[in-house]
Structures are given as structure tokens and as C-alpha cells.
Amino acid sequence: MKSLYFNEDHELFRQSVIEYINKKKPFFDQWEEERQVPKSVWKEMGDMGFLGLMYDEKYGGSKVDFFYSVILMEEMARAGNAGLLGGFSVHSYMATNHINNIGSEELKQKYLVPSIAGDILGAIAFTEPNAGSDVQGITTFAKKEGDHYIINGSKTYITSGCSADYFLTLCKTEAGFDIIVIDGDAPGITRNKLNKIGLHSSDTAEIFFQDVKIPTSNLVGNEGMGFYYVMESFQLERLCCAIMAIGAMDTIIAETLEFMKNRKAFGRPIAYFQVLRHRLADYCTDLECIRSLTYETCWRFMNGEYAIKQASMCKLKATELQNEVVAGCLQMHGGAGYMEDYPIARYFRDARVGTIYGGSSEIMREIIAKVVVDDVQFGKVY
């Protein structure tokens, strides 16, 4: 049956993504052990055109519709290396998204063009030790002195924090809050790599800024608007979280079903035990429900709608469901599920952060409640 969202060109693109990812799969275990994806991978993805799907051709992008991005994130998630996908999504749909939407032409040439080419890697530095979901609680301060900012403070839980070449950094300023691009090699920056439960292929770091001097031309957008830019960008970030969770669940369920067909107990495959097959049926039903909502919300986003309620619902339901599905599927593996030799163990670790990053489940519920109960209307600022 013809899809509502994907055409023949989309499916040809899907095949190119699958072919590329399959070539990289033999290295996944190595990247997990090394806790790092080689920089060469970003260059390869740039050469494939994967890093600029949303951006204009004049900057090296291809400016195709958003469902190409859906395909790319889905297939990367299905491949089973969430760490690689985490670094990619932050680079291509968060860091560069701000520069593309509100950055000056100078910033686009300096950061966006080489980012799309895969020559440099971007990250976002918003979270602080005492300011996660409460973005207004940040204390990293950028003091304007002539044509420069002097920046002091710290950030934490920064994806690609050790390997990034630049950071889109939310700072408190005399004007309010601003996003400032900080080069990774600027004097006064210290990075400390963090050890995580999962997403091992993606490095995560604390970053400390001590009298870091950055030109005022590195301001992204208008002065005092940084908080609002961050709030609007969360819509895309949360959609990405939902898409990645959906792709991961496709693989988790498929591999669990294969295991169940081959694992025998009491003389027959465990796939034929009603309690297990009915649980799997529930998982598949819930997955198709959230997939439909997410695709519809992607369509709304692609057509310019600021669908914050729907994006928050997608993020909430998809990541909560992923945690439920992966825990249940690990249980269906029995003792094998607790062994590192089986991919389900990695899927279990990697899934846990889904309900935390990009806005916790509790924050998603509050945003939805504000729209549904309090009739709050959120507007665009880009």
C-alpha cells in the first residue's frame, strides 16, 4: 500500500542509508569499547549528504522535505548504535539548526558550511549542574567588554562534549539570555569526560569556562532572545527523540521475536506461549499508535506548524514506551537478556536516558497540561 508520507525517492534514499550503516556495523562494538565515534565518520556522512538534509544548497545542504530526516534517524536507530545517533542528531538537528535559522551570514559560512560537509562537529551546551529542565536557572555568564564576551561558568551532560569543535552555548547576559558560539579550542576551556550507563559510542562531558574570550559577532540571533530560541528548538529536538525511539523499538521487537522463535521451553518455541505473544502484540500495537502520531507531527512541523503539544506528546509516549518495550523484551530473553553477548543488553542501557534528555517525561506532561488544561498558546520566535 502506498504510504501517506514516503514516496519512491524517499525509499531510494532509505536504501542508501541502510547500505552505509551496514558498512559501519562491524565497527559498532569497537566504538562502544573506545567510547568514541571517529571523526572520520562525520566526514563520510557529510560526503553522503546526510548532515545537511534541512539546509539550503548554497551552504552545502540539499533542502529536502523532513521525511528524509525521519528515514535517516529511523534507520540509524534500527541499526542499534544509539551513541552514534545521539552525536549525529545533536550536530545536525540542534547545533546547526540554530545557526541556520537565526545565525548571521558570517556564522553560517564559518560554522554551518563546514558542519554540513562533516569537517567540524557541533554540540549544544545548555544544561548546567543546577539547571537542566529549568533552563532559566543557568548561571554561566557572558560579560560584554567592547567587541568581545568574557564567559565564565560550566555546563554538564554535553553530548559530544569532548570531541565537538564548537558549542552553541546558552549564557546569561546583561540583556537576558543569549546563545553564543564558543570554539572548542578557545583558551580557558576545560573538558572532563563523563562515564554513562549507556550511549557509550557518544562522548559526554562537563565543560568549564574560565575567562573565555569570544567575539560578539558569535552571538546567534538577537540579543536577549536566547531563552526563547531554545524553547522553540525543543520542538524539533523532541521530535527527533520520538523518531529515534520508534526506530529502536522496531529492532528491539524484531530481534526479540527472532529469539523467541528459536528459544524452546517445555518442548516448543516460547513464541507460542500466550502470555508472551500477547505482550508482544500489545507492544506492536502501541508502537504503531505512536508512530502514526509522530509521523503526523513531523508532517505538521514540515508544513510550518508550531505543534508543541503534539511534539511533547510524541516525545513523552515514544520514550516511555521504549523503556517499557525494552524491559519486557529483555525479560523474554530470560538469562540471555542479562548477558552482554546479546544486543538487548545494550538496547536496555541506551533506552533509559530517553525519558530524561530533551526534557524529562515530567516536563513533557507539564507542557501538555499547560496547553490542554490552562489553554496556554505557544508562538514562534524564529
The Cα 245–Cα 247 span in angstroms is 6
Q: Which amino acid is at 44?
A: E
Choosing from 11, 237, 362, 366, the catalytic residue is 237
Phi, psi of 37 (to 5 degrees): -95, 130
Return the C-alpha cell found at 354. 530517553
237 counts as catalytic: yes
- Chain CA centroid to CA 161, Å: 14
Phi, psi of 168 (to 5 degrees): -80, 105
The Cα 35–Cα 348 span in angstroms is 17
| Contact (Cβ atoms closer than 8 angstroms) between residue 36 and residue 203 | yes
DSSP 226-239: HHHHHHHHHHHHHH
Q: What does the longest C-alpha to C-alpha distance in the chain come to?
A: 79
| Contact (Cβ atoms closer than 8 angstroms) between residue 342 and residue 329 | no
- Strand-pairing partners, residue 181, are 168
CA atoms within 13 A on the CB side of 217: 9
The Cα 281–Cα 274 span in angstroms is 10
- 181-216 as b/e, with b when 16 or more CB fall inside 10 Å? bbbbeeeebebeeeebebbbbbbbbbbbbeebebee
- Please state, in angstroms and as integers, the Cα–Cα distance from residue 382 to each residue in 51, 96, 97, 145, following that order: 21, 14, 11, 27
Q: Which segments of 303-360 does DSSP mark as H helices, in order? A: 308-332, 343-351
**Quick one: which of 86, 173, 170 has its CA closest to 134?**
170
Return the C-alpha cell found at 280. 508482544
Q: Which amino acid is at 75?
A: E
List active site positions. Answer: 237
